[in-house]
Structure formats: structure tokens, C-alpha cells
Amino acid sequence: MWTPTPNPSPQGGGENHEHRMTRLSTATRNKLKTVSTATVATALFKRGLRIQCIQNVHPLGPDQPTMVGEAFTMRYIPAREDLNTIEVFRDRGHPQRKAVEECPPGAVLVMDSRKDARAASAGAILVSRLQQRGVAGVVTDGGFRDSAEIARLGIPAFHQRPSAPTNLTHHHAIEINGPIACGDAPVFPGDVILGDSDGVIVIPADIADEIADETFEMTAFEDFVAEQVAQGRSILGLYPATDPQTPADFAAWRAKNGR
């Protein structure tokens, strides 16, 4: 049996997960709300982190805001039929229901559904409850049921595709807030989750602040470049800024635009 240890290394998880839940500062959260998953992916790539993007998940609503929050996780294994009758939901300790009531406000509930969308990971009632509780968003590498209603709720929600069957059909909720796989990415409780129209990315907790700072700056430069390109300028020498004129132009642009 897995025994959590007091050792705060991410190898085994443990007490530090609790700790991380409080680590995301307001400053970092606010900065991340203004950057894109694409820009963060580049910043992580520069650090040798290539697989932090949760693959093949999509926002349910077309105009949902950027999602930012610490990961609170839940893990499913395949549903053994005798252990997953409709009655199990009567147990208030059922991990899925527990997760919905315990996921901290401001956090993101991330579900490991083994990329299996044949049954839903959750439906509109649970997602509505998460929203009421102030949770920042919800992600599964499987699917949601009541997908149109979830889209209308407005809370950022990401999945592979809609799926009508109840989770009990193919999923057995087994664990809350341990390390998981989600869309082929590793997710440790407390990692910072960012989601937008390109999907969802996982920022390791211990570098969230520096990634926020760096991508905030990168975003200013990208906005400058986008404006220049929209005015007809070539990308050569501009992006990346190998032409010595580019940094000068960028400095002028920042001054002019107050960024």
C-alpha cells in the first residue's frame, strides 16, 4: 500500500500537497490570467519540460474566461461492476462526491479518467456545485454529461468530448488528491493549472511564480509583435528579435502603451 511520507519531494507526494494549496499568490494568479497556455508552454519548454500540456481537452463553452488555480485531483480506475452500482452514491464518502465538496475555492478539479470518454467524469449538477463553492474550473481527460448545461454555467470546464453515461458505467472513483496522469501529462496536487481556448497546461508548483513573471513579459513582447505583423512587418529579425532595431522598437512600444 502506498504510504504518504512527510518528505516534501514530489516523488511520493504527501503533506506538502496540503501546503501547496496555499502557495499560489494573488499576484501570480492575476498575472497568469493575462497570459496564454501557448506562451506558458514555451516558457516550460525552455526549462526542458515538454509534456505539461494536457492533450486533447477542449473548453465546453466558447467564451469562458482563462482558468487559473491549483490542482486538486481525483483518480478513476475502470469500474468493476459489483463495486459500482447506483447505490454507491448514497455513501457520502464516495470520492467523486467528496471531491466536489472538498475541492478548495480557487482550485481546479483535475480528473484522471484514463482518456476514456465512454462514460462521463461528472455532470452539470456536480459542476454547478463546484461553481457555487468558488472552484476555479474543472478538467477531465474523459467527457462530461449535460455538456450544454455546463457550457451555460460559465465556469471554465475542459474535456475530450460530451458523454452521456454516468461515471459508474466505466469509471470507479478511487482516490482524491494524489498524483495523477491527465491527458498524458503528470499532475501533482498543488501544480498550477492554466486553461484557455488552446486547452490546459500544468505548471509545476515550485516554478509557478517565475513562470508567471516570465510569461507576463513574453506576452507584452508578443502583443507588440502581433501588432507589428498586422501592420505588415516581416517576422525575420522581429520574432525572435535578432534585428537590433527590434528591442528598441519594443521599448518605444512599451513606453507608448504603458506596458
Beta strands in 83-226 (DSSP E): 108-112, 120-122, 137-140, 143-144, 157-159, 171-176, 180-182, 185-187, 192-196, 199-203
Q: Is 205 annotated as a binding residue?
A: no
Residue 219 amino acid letter:
T
- Characterize 203-231 residue by residue with b for buried, 16 or more Cβ atoms within 10 angstroms of its Cβ, and e for exposed: bbbebbbebbebbbbbbbbbebbeebeee
Element (H, E) at 26: helix 26-32
Among 22, 25, 184, 248, contact with a copy of itself (rule: CB under 8 A): 184
Q: How large is the angle between the packed helices 95-102 and 124-132, nearest 10 degrees?
A: 30
Does residue 162 belong to the site contacting a copy of itself (CB under 8 A)?
yes
Does residue 225 belong to the site contacting a copy of itself (CB under 8 A)?
yes
Q: Which stretch binds a copy of itself (CB under 8 A): 26-34, 184-192, 210-218, 245-253?
A: 184-192
Among 29, 56, 65, 249, contact with a copy of itself (rule: CB under 8 A): 56
- 26/230 with CB nearer a copy of itself: 230
Query: CB of residue 119 vs a copy of itself: minimum separation in angstroms?
Result: 8
Q: Is 146 annotated as a binding residue?
A: yes
Among 6, 26, 80, 256, contact with a copy of itself (rule: CB under 8 A): 80
Q: Based on the number of CB atoms within 10 Å of its own CB, is 148 exposed (0-12), middle (13-18) or buried (19 or more)? A: exposed
Side-chain half-sphere exposure of 84, counting CA atoms within 13 A: 18
Q: Is 75 annotated as a binding residue?
A: no
Q: Is 145 annotated as a binding residue?
A: yes
Query: CB of residue 70 vs a copy of itself: minimum separation in angstroms?
Result: 13
Length of the chain: 259
- 176/220 with CB nearer a copy of itself: 176
Q: Which stretch binds a copy of itself (CB under 8 A): 25-33, 119-127, 211-219, 245-253?
A: 119-127
- Per the annotation, where are the binding residues for Mg(2+)? 146
- Per the annotation, where are the binding residues? 123-126, 145-146
